[in-house]
Structure 1
Amino acid sequence: MQNDLLKDKVIIVTGAFGGIGLAIAKACLNAGAQVLLHGRSERNLADALGYLDGGDRVEPFVGDVTRDNFATDLVEATVRRFGRINGIVNNAAYVVSSNVNDTTLALFREVLEVNSLAPFSIIQSALPHLAETKGAVVNIGSVNAYAGEPGLLAYSVSKGALMTLTRNLGDSLHRDFGIRVNQLNVGWVLTEKEQERKVGHGLPADWYTLISPMYAPARRLLDPMEVANSAVLWLSDSLGPVSGQAVELEQHPIIGRNPEKNLDALDIE
């Protein structure tokens, strides 16, 4: 879908060599932006660049978000290539199964480093540039931020921390610098990694067609590009001064839902 919502804006997208991040990068390009495309390793870089077909409007950047000086290097690379920063999408995430029994402190710290601290560091490093352009930040969160699944303990807590960061900075940075900070709490999305994960759990290759309507009333999961289109809207100037908000992208209410207790509520797992 072509539009001009981000015409001539420079957007950083982390975790963007695949999945939701790559879809967001594509949507930003379609909306007229220039994109700093970040990924952890070069393994999927060639495929990502081929899919985007963005020419000189795309600049790749490879690096681990937890390494020292990562945020500074990312920001400097963006400004060196494009001259400014209008928006940041903090999408890079560490999704790992863990529960109260097997979550070590080392694992917990690693998840928090990737999912909570790295986004803060990137925003902090980019602050002067975002202030200059009156830019926008979109943090990609999860509906797990509200409590989460027992088997996603560390991940859920990290997304809750990210949501508080969003609300806190969305207030202070908007008031002091004119920078909007918002978050998309994403529900169940059919990405290539989710497909690999579920098949790895022993589910059939077409598992996503068998999900109960209790979990997917539309009889399908969200598509990455549907998340991406929402991210573009929140990066744009279309929503005016809205800041400090966490918006759920899900098919049903997250808070207060009390579904019928019948066989349709059974999970396919």
Structure 2
Amino acid sequence: MRLQNKVIIVTGSCTGIGKAIAERCVAEGAQVVIHGLEPEWGEQVVAKLGTQNAVLHIEDLTLPEAPQRLVEIAIQTFGRLDALVNNAALVISSNIQTTDEAFLRKVLEVNTVAPLALIKAALPQLSQNRGSVLNIGSVNAWSGEPNLLAYSISKGALMTMTRNLGDTLHRENNVRVNQINPGWVLTENEAQRKHEQGLPEDWYKAIPNVFAPAGRILWPSEIAAAAIYWLADESGPISGQVVDLEQHPFLGRNPPKDASTLST
């Protein structure tokens, strides 16, 4: 039980990676605050985990007082707060033609500003309990796909924030801040997005080798397994680190000769 007696907020945990992280946290002995925008899905997660282990809060994180309310729910329900997982994100396609200033601000508000606001709101409790923050980024933070411009910008900013606060908050507040950058993960929303883009319902069963050497893309449970290390005391004093979780070397990769003939 690597997270015994810890209380953890996991944003965006009604589905996908966040849901998998919350489930794994409870399996490791933690109590969790489930958060998202989908009441029915969130209620299903809480029912599965048990009300003694989980509480649900539905709210848009970009609202001014939302971060503080989320922290207060953790304290009122479970008496403390030990860790924060900033997983909630707006995953949306855009390129240079479709990304105007208003669109970029909207994506940044959800993917970068809200995580910072949550860290600020949680900091007193996290500092008191020598807690930790785990930001869920994306391998797109390094440059991103052509049709993920605004999303990639926001995740690049999140990565810089992780390194900055991972140093500052560790020294000044006893709070560790780290980040994992998942690659291509088969979440419910990703499966639906690709289907809406014209791919068949079972598109994930035939991924070209250039994108998935293992023959499949990642599962949310595999990201959750990695998340536990950063939330547990066993990661010790490590802070300010960003780890890419993909099945091939994302930077400096030598693409196969036939890669140009393949499409996602």
TM range (shorter): over 0.9
Q: 1:267 aligned to 2:245?
A: no
Question: Displacement of 1:48 after TM fit?
Answer: 2.2
Alignment of 1:155-194 (within 5 A): 155-194=151-190
Kindly provide the amino acid, as one letter, of the partner of residue 72 in structure 1: Q
Tell me if the contact between 1:227 and 1:249 (Cα under 8 Å) persists in the aligned partners.
yes
Could you list the per-position Cα deviations for residues 5-55 of structure 1 after superposition, in whole angstroms to 9, with x for gaps in the alignment?
1000000000000111110000000000000111124142222223x3333
Q: 2:14 aligns with which of 17, 26, 37?
A: 17
Equivalents in 2 of 1:220, 1:266: separation in Å? 19
* Residue aligning to 2:90: 94
- Most deviating of 207-216 and 183-192: 207-216
Kindly provide the amino acid, as one letter, of the partner of residue 22 in structure 1: K
Could you list the per-position Cα deviations for residues 84-142 of structure 1 after superposition, in whole angstroms to 9, with x for gaps in the alignment?
11100000000010000011211100100000000000000111100011001100000
Kindly provide the amino acid, as one letter, of the partner of residue 149 in structure 1: E
Equivalents in 2 of 1:260, 1:27: separation in Å? 36
Q: 1:47 aligned to 2:44?
A: yes
> Aligned with 2:52: secondary structure?
helix
Alignment of 1:220-235 (within 5 A): 220-235=216-231
Equivalents in 2 of 1:213, 1:24: separation in Å? 27
* Residue aligning to 1:27: 24
Gaps of 5+ in 2: none
Equivalents in 1 of 2:157, 2:136: separation in Å? 12
> Aligned with 2:233: secondary structure?
coil
How many residue pairs align between the two structures? 264
CA gap 1:88/1:75 in 2 versus in 1, 3 angstroms: same
Equivalents in 1 of 2:262, 2:85: separation in Å? 32
Equivalents in 2 of 1:82, 1:46: separation in Å? 18
Q: How much is the aligned-residue C-alpha RMSD, in angstroms?
A: 1.1
* Residue aligning to 1:58: 54
Q: 1:5 aligned to 2:23?
A: no
TM-score under structure 1 length normalisation: 0.95
Gaps of 5+ in 1: none
Question: Displacement of 1:265 after TM fit?
Answer: 5.3
Q: 1:148 aligned to 2:144?
A: yes
Q: 1:118 aligns with which of 114, 121, 124?
A: 114
> Aligned with 1:79: secondary structure?
helix
Tell me if the contact between 2:7 and 2:30 (Cα under 8 Å) persists in the aligned partners.
yes
